[in-house]
Structure 1
Amino acid sequence: MTDKIVVLVTVPDQKTAETIANKLLKARLIACAQILPGLQSIYEWEGKVERSQEWLVILKSRSDAFETLSAKIQALHPYKVPQIVALPIERGHLPYLQWMDEVMGIPANRAE
């Protein structure tokens, strides 16, 4: 088990996706963001079934950064209740995990 996480965030458009990704990267809260267009979400909101075209932002981070990362996403996000879901990274390619630590400013002696 690592201290790394993948955070999934849906957004309404590319501009929002890029704004969130850039701000989190500059704050060193993530190592990487991947932005995928063309997502169709189907969900219940205020008693009605809704369908939305959205973008998916996949963020690579650390579990100890989640609360700060989540608060920053909420401040930047246009939705009242944004999807911000974290999944643990159980295992991974060690050089990649070490690179994540470097990008997020973790000293090499603390890297996994």
Structure 2
Amino acid sequence: MANDMVIAQTTSDDEDQAKALARGAVESKLAAGVHIDAPITAFYWWKSKVETAREWRISYMTTTDRLPALEAWLHEQHPYDVPQWITLPVTGGSEAYLSWVVEETARA
């Protein structure tokens, strides 16, 4: 069951947008749950200079089956030209929690 679950992450420089990206994914059954971290400070290269931004990290709990649909949805909804999109494998965890993620992301 653990290898069915992944955590996918993106960021947003707007708290309300982060909440909309979280709620929309859950309402669409693309993620069983989403965490939004407190504001973080990001430093990154953009258009040949170092930028700094205050961002909220958004972590989606989903499955490998739902990941492609979640990624496509996120790229349609996200305002950034190049949003961060990374996935982290889940190699273990509570069997009850992992089962919940799979059940909640099953297509309706």
- Residues 3-38 of structure 1: CA distance to partner in whole angstroms, max 9, x if unpaired? 110011111111111111111111111011011122
Distance in 1 (CA, whole Å) between partners of 2:40 and 2:6 is 22
Per-residue CA deviations over 1:32-71 (Å, capped at 9, x if unaligned) read: 1011122111010010011110001111001121111011
Structural RMSD (CA): 1.2
2:96 and 2:45 map into 1 onto residues whose CA distance is: 41
Q: For 2:69 and 2:100, how far apart are their aligned partners in 1? A: 21
Partner of 2:27: 26
Secondary structure of the 1:18 match is: helix
8 A contact 2:5–2:102 mirrored in 1: no
Cα distance in 2 between the residues matched to 1:73 and 1:49: 25
Gaps of 5+ in 2: none
* Amino-acid identity (%): 29
Q: Name segments (4+ residues, structure 1) moved above 3 Å.
A: none
- 1:64 and 2:65 correspond: yes
| Superposed displacement of residue 102, structure 1 | 2.0
Partner of 1:109: none
**The residue matched to 1:56 in structure 2 has which SS?**
strand
Task: State the match for 1:110 in structure 2.
Answer: none
Structure 1: stretches of 5+ with no match in the other structure: 107-112
Q: Determine if the alignment matches structure 1 residue 47 to structure 2 residue 48.
A: yes
Structure 1 CA distance for aligned equivalents of residues 57 and 81 of structure 2: 17
Provide TM-score, normalisation by structure 2. Answer: 0.92
State TM-score, norm by structure 1.
0.89
Q: CA deviation at 1:105?
A: 2.6
Distance 2:40 2:11 in 1: 9
Residue aligned with 1:29, SS: coil
Deviations 1:72-98 (A, max 9, x none): 111111100000111110111101011
**Which residue number corresponds to residue 76 of structure 1?**
77
